Every structure is written in C-alpha cells, then in structure tokens.
Copies of this chain bind each other. A is one copy, B any other.
Amino acid sequence: MLLDRYRAVRSFTAGLCKRLEAEDCVVQSMPDASPAKWHLGHTTWFFETFVLMRAAAGYEPLDTRYAFIFNSYYHAVGDRQPQARRGLLSRPTVAEVDAYRSHVDRHMQSFLEEAPAKPFREHAFVVEVGLHHEQQHQELILTDIKHAFAQNPLEPRYHTPPPVASAASARPGWLPFEGGLVDVGNASDDFAFDNERPRHRAHLEPFELARRLVTCGEFVEFIEDGGYRRPELWLSDGWEARERHGWEAPLYWRQADGRRSLLTLGGRLALDPGEPVCHVSYYEADAFARWAGARLPREEEWELAAVRQEVAGNFVESGRLHPSASVPARDGAAAQLYGDAWEWTASAYHPYPGYAPFPGALGEYNGKFMSGRMVLRGGSCASPATHLRPTYRNFFPPNARWQFSGVRLARNLL
C-alpha cells in the first residue's frame, strides 16, 4: 500500500513537469523559488538520503555530487548549493534528473517490496514524510513556474484550464463560534507533521468567521478606497514592504486601459470579481481586514471550524490551478475552507506547548523555521487533496506573495 502511494505521488510529480519545456525547468525567478528541475531532484534526494543510504544495504548513489546540489537546508547531512544560486546549474539536465529519479525509484520499489516488517516501521514513517514532502514540492513546482512565467513578456501558459461551470456564488456572511477552552492540534495515529502536535488546550473568546474567502471584487473596493495609500490601515513592517516593493495590487494583477486582468497558469484572464483574491501577503491581508472592520482569524479559531468539515474543495486534482468562485456551503459550514487559497492567520508560526521535533536530521524539517513566519491554513488550488488535514499548518514570511494565499475574515463576538 505504501508502495502504491509511492508510485502515485512520484508519477504525479513527473506529470506536473511534462507540460514544461526543458528550458522552463532551469529558471529560478527569485531566491525563494526553485527551478522545476531542482524540485525533481531534491524530492528524489530526500528518499536517497533518508531512506536508501540508511536502510537499503548496498545502495550506490548515481552521482555522489548530487548530495551537494539537491540538499535544501539540512545542515546535519552536509553542505549544499546556496538556495539563491540553484538557477545557475544547467546540469544535471532534465534528462539526467529523470534518470536520477528512475534510479532512486527502482531502488525504493525494491526496498518497499522486500523490507522486512520489524525495522521497517521506522523507515515506513520516513517514506511517509518523504511523500508528504514531495506533495509540498508539487505545489511549489506550480507556484514557482507561475512566478517564472510572470517575469516573461511572452506570458507563457502552463496549461489550458478545463471549462468551469458557472454556479450561484456563496453570499458573504458570518459563522458564529462560542469559543471557550478548546483542544487543538493533532492527536491521531495517522501521519501528521511534528509541528501539528501535540494536541493541547487553548482558550478562545467568542468569535465569528466569514462564510467564504474575500473576493477580488471586494479587494478592488479596498484598492479604490485608497487601501494602498493609507498608512493607518497597515502594520508598520507592511507599509515599509509596500513602499520598498511598490505594491499597488496583489501579485499578478495587471491594469491596462482601465481594465484589470490576472496572470494565471492558464494565461491572462480578465479579473472576475467573484473569485477569491489570492497572491496577497500577510500585510495586505491584515490591512484589508482592518479596512473591512474585521481581523484575520487565529489559527486555533480556523481549526475549530475546520474539524467539523470534511477535507473537500478545489485542489490540484481539479486541474483548474486557480481559485474558483465559492459555491454555497451547507448550513453551519464555511465555503472554501479547504482548497482554493491558503488562508493567512493572525498566528505567528511558533511551537505548540510540548512540541518535539522529529528525531535526527528530520528535526530540521519544520522546527527551525519557527520564527518570522505566519501560519496559513486550508490548502489551495495547487495542493494535493491527500496532503491536507484540519490540523495542517503551512507557514510563510509575512511578505510572501507567490503562493496561492488569500484572506478569510474573522470578528470578535461580544
């Protein structure tokens, strides 16, 4: 079963890159993004380093120098190509990286078929981590190539999106919660990242959560009300970021002849006021919320709503790769809670009380990033469905805009 999942996840990654030209796979459009080729190699290196080199007797790496090239940030397993310089490496070529993937896949499949029960359990866990890791990079392949294509005056398209059936859109509105002393975090036996654990108590005041994501139309109102020119709406760091980067609208928005359009993975589209806004930073989300007389939800508040709903929505599997206008949710439920766009929360990404990192080098996976980042929840139109959980915590610096990051409002209830 793990083998099946291994095959499924690995081939999904390969499929994502099928639509790219070899040239596309080389480009690194900013230090935060990586070339597609690097994602293909790095996810492979993960299995090689943390499974095959440790557990598969007699495994020989295809090229020992790949360990340097494809290590991302694991100090415990050696030196690495600096992140900002990944785009300088034309070699290994895409074909060579594909050969590397095949080499590792072949050995992983033997390993997974032959592994004896006992010592295997520990490695099975690492394989599980590796698969979730690869799913994270599936999303990054899409957001990184979107960013790269957006730098190109030719405006290349990644794909031709499937037609979307038009439907009645969810009305705005609020969903009330009593709060009080609640349990949050993950306590299940199933896979969860270390940062989702342990389950613990938190106290919440009564609050309400918006029934759907903030739309592009609402964001246009914010802009036209001077949202990007009124410092009183912004956090100080956000205002500085706005000035430094010259932000006047979400990333990928364009304006010409008085008409707004968006760059998407399917090419340039006219702005649809009913779609969720995305590609905003935490600072913009926060400023919008202040302008709207609301605030961003705390991550515990979001989780309280999410545990009551099933993990369903507009994920990468829909093939749309773009947020959709919300469909009315059933009573007591919030629309778009999963998928469409990651939702910035008001919570800094910090350890839960009693947090313990994964043992060994994998302890570097999540724990060392617990400063300077904000939590996002819920997944996006580029997230694999099987990757998400109500307790899942994503995290990015507050000025990051190249993820599918959107806004859900919250308010205090007196």
Contact = CB atoms under 8 A, between A and B. Distances in A.
A154 interface: yes
Contacts of A283: 371
A75 B348 contact: no
Contacts of A286: 371
Interface in A12-32: 21-27, 29
3 smallest A-B Cβ distances: which pairs? A348-B348, A75-B231, A23-B90
Contacts of A350: 346-348
Contacts of A370: 235
A73 B236 CA distance: 9
Contact of A372 (B63, B354, B398): B398
A396 to B, nearest CB: 13
Interface residues of A, number: 67
Given A203-B202, A350-B346, A371-B237, A21 B93 contact: yes
A205 interface: yes
The A interface is mostly helix, strand or loop, or mixed, namely: mixed
A65 B156 CA distance: 13
Contacts of A308: none
Nearest to A412: B354
Q: Which of A91, A94, A347 has the most CB of B within 10 A?
A: A91
A235 B369 contact: yes
Interface in A164-202: 181, 200-202
Nearest to A354: B412
A281 to B, nearest CB: 11
Interface stretch (A45-53, A145-153, A209-217, A258-266): A145-153
A119 to B, nearest CB: 25
Contact of A91 (B65, B81, B154, B235): B154
A24 B203 contact: no
A167 B71 CA distance: 47
A88 B28 CA distance: 7
Contacts of A239: 368
A29 B203 CA distance: 44
A39 interface: no
